[in-house]
C-alpha cells in the first residue's frame, strides 16, 4: 500500500457509522420493487438474479428472470435440463458462459446440497460461476447474513464517500475489502440491509457518469464532494473493445444456434462472418467452452450432453454402465 491520502480513510470499526442510518433510511423510501427482492423469490431466485446481473443491466434481466423462474422454479428443475436449454433461454443477456455455469451450479446444488441453495459462504463460493461478490450477495440477500458485499456500485460509493476519490481502482484491492469490512454494521440484519442499501445508492444516485448529489442522503458527509469533486487521477479504465473481435463473432455464431431448432450445418455458420480464420477460431472457442457441441458431418448444436462429471460429487455416479453411450 502506498502512502496516498486514499489509503488511510478516517473510519472506525464503530458499528453505527454515520453512513448507515441515512443510507438505509433512503433505501426504505426509494428501493426499487424488483422481483428477486420479494420474499417469494427465495434463495434460488436471488441466485439466478445475481448470475444474470453480472455485468448486465436490470432492465434487460427482468423479462428473462421471470421466464427462468417460471420454467425452472427450483435448482433441480434446471439441473434436469440439457445445458443447451439454459444457453438458449439465456437469450441475448450476453456472456452466455454464465448460463452454462448457472446450469452447472444447479447440478451441483442438486447433487451435493439436496437441492437447496447452500447457506455458507464457502459452499456458495465452491459453485461454478460464483465468486467472492456473488457468494457474499446470496448469503446476504437470501439468508440475511453479515458479509461485505463489494460490487462495482458499493466500491464507487465507498470510494467517494469514505475515500474521497471519484472512482475505485480498476481491480478490487485489499484496502477496499478492509474498508468495507470496517464499515459493516455489527448487527447481522442491519449489515444485510446496509449491503442492499449501499448497492442501490450506487445504482440509482451515486452513478458512474453523473452522480445526483442533490438526491444523495449522505452528500453532507461525502469526502469526495467535500473535497470539491476532484477528477479521477491515475490510469484510465481499460475500455472494452468489441467491434471486429472474436467476441462479436462468437455472439453471431451463438445467435444462429440459439434460434435453430436442431443442428446447424457448418455452411450456415459460415455466413455470419467473412474472415475464415477468425470464424474458425471463434467456433473452436465456443466448442472448447462447452457452449457448442460439434456433431458428425459438420453439424453443430447447443450442448445436449453434460460436459463433465462433477469432481466434487459426494457420491460417485453409478459406475459408467458400459454399453450405454451418452447421446
| Residues annotated as part of the active site | 50
CA dihedral 97, 103, 108, 113 (to 10 degrees): 130
CB of residue 94 to DNA, shortest distance in Å = 2
Residues numbered 1-30 forming contacts with DNA, rule: CB under 7 A: none
Residue 199 lies near DNA (rule: CB under 7 A): yes
For residue 146, give the C-alpha cell.
453479515
Separation in Å, CA 94 to CA 13, 57, 71, 281: 39, 11, 20, 19
| CB environment 139-148: b (16+ within 10 A), e (fewer) | bbbbbebbbb
CB of residue 103 to DNA, shortest distance in Å = 13
Residue 247 lies near DNA (rule: CB under 7 A): yes
Segment near DNA (CB under 7 A), from 3-11, 55-63, 175-183, 307-315?
55-63
Residue count, binding to DNA (CB under 7 A): 59
> Of 229, 132, 113, which is closest to residue 180 (Cα–Cα)?
132
CB of residue 44 to DNA, shortest distance in Å = 15
CB 175 within 8 A of CB 5: no
Residue 171 lies near DNA (rule: CB under 7 A): yes
> Of 327, 307, 306, 309, which is closest to residue 318 (Cα–Cα)?
309
Q: Which of 109, 254, 269, 302 binds DNA (CB under 7 A)?
A: 254
CA distance 205 to 60: 20
Residue 111 lies near DNA (rule: CB under 7 A): no
CB of residue 321 to DNA, shortest distance in Å = 28
Residue 250 lies near DNA (rule: CB under 7 A): yes
Residue 34 lies near DNA (rule: CB under 7 A): yes
CB of residue 45 to DNA, shortest distance in Å = 11
CB of residue 206 to DNA, shortest distance in Å = 9
Residue 135 lies near DNA (rule: CB under 7 A): yes
The SS3 call for residue 295 is: strand
Residue 42 lies near DNA (rule: CB under 7 A): no
The alpha carbons of the chain give a radius of gyration, in whole angstroms, of 22
CA distance 142 to 47: 8
Q: Which of 151, 162, 194, 264 binds DNA (CB under 7 A)?
A: 151
Count Cβ atoms within 10 A of the Cβ of residue 246 and give its class: 0-12 exposed, 13-18 middle, 19 or more buried: middle
Segment near DNA (CB under 7 A), from 77-85, 89-97, 213-221, 259-267?
89-97
Footprint of DNA (CB under 7 A): 34, 36-37, 49-50, 53-58, 60, 92-97, 101, 128-135, 137, 151-153, 156, 170-171, 173, 199-200, 202-203, 207-209, 236-240, 242, 245-248, 250-252, 254-255, 285, 291
Amino acid at each position: 500500500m502506498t502512502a496516498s491520502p486514499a489509503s488511510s480513510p478516517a473510519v472506525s470499526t464503530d458499528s453505527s457509522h454515520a453512513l448507515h442510518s441515512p443510507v438505509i433510511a433512503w433505501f426504505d423510501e426509494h428501493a426499487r420493487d424488483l422481483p428477486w427482492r420479494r420474499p417469494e423469490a427465495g434463495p434460488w431466485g436471488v441466485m439466478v438474479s445475481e448470475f444474470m446481473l453480472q455485468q448486465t443491466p436490470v432492465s434487460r434481466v427482468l423479462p428473462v428472470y421471470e421466464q427462468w423462474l417460471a420454467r425452472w422454479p427450483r435448482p433441480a428443475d434446471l439441473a434436469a435440463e440439457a445445458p443447451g436449454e439454459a444457453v438458449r433461454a439465456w437469450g441475448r443477456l450476453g456472456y452466455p458462459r454464465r448460463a452454462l455455469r448457472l446450469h452447472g451450479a444447479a447440478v451441483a446444488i442438486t447433487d451435493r446440497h439436496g437441492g437447496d441453495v447452500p447457506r455458507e459462504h464457502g459452499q456458495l463460493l465452491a459453485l461454478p460461476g460464483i465468486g467472492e461478490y456473488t457468494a457474499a450477495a446470496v448469503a446476504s440477500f437470501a439468508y440475511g447474513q453479515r458479509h461485505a458485499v463489494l460490487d462495482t456500485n458499493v466500491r464507487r460509493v465507498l470510494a467517494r464517500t469514505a475515500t474521497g476519490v471519484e472512482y475505485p481502482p480498476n481491480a478490487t484491492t485489499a484496502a477496499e475489502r478492509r474498508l468495507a469490512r470496517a464499515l459493516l454494521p455489527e448487527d447481522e440484519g442491519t449489515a444485510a440491509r446496509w449491503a442492499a442499501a449501499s448497492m442501490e445508492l450506487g445504482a440509482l444516485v451515486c452513478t458512474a457518469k453523473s452522480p445526483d448529489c442533490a438526491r444523495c442522503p449522505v452528500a453532507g458527509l461525502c469526502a469526495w464532494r467535500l473535497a470539491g469533486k476532484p477528477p479521477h487521477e491515475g490510469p484510465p479504465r481499460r475500455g472494452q473493445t468489441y467491434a471486429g473481435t472474436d467476441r462479436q463473432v462468437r455472439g453471431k455464431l451463438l445467435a444462429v444456434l440459439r434460434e435453430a431448432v436442431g443442428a446447424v450445418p457448418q455452411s450456415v455458420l459460415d455466413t455470419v462472418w467473412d474472415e475464415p480464420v477468425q470464424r474458425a477460431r471463434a467456433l473452436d472457442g465456443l466448442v472448447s467452452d462447452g457452449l457448442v457441441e460439434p456433431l458428425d458431418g459438420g453439424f453443430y448444436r447447443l450442448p445436449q450432453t453434460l460436459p463433465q462429471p462433477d469432481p466434487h460429487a459426494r457420491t460417485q455416479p453409478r459406475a459408467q454402465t458400459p454399453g450405454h453411450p451418452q447421446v
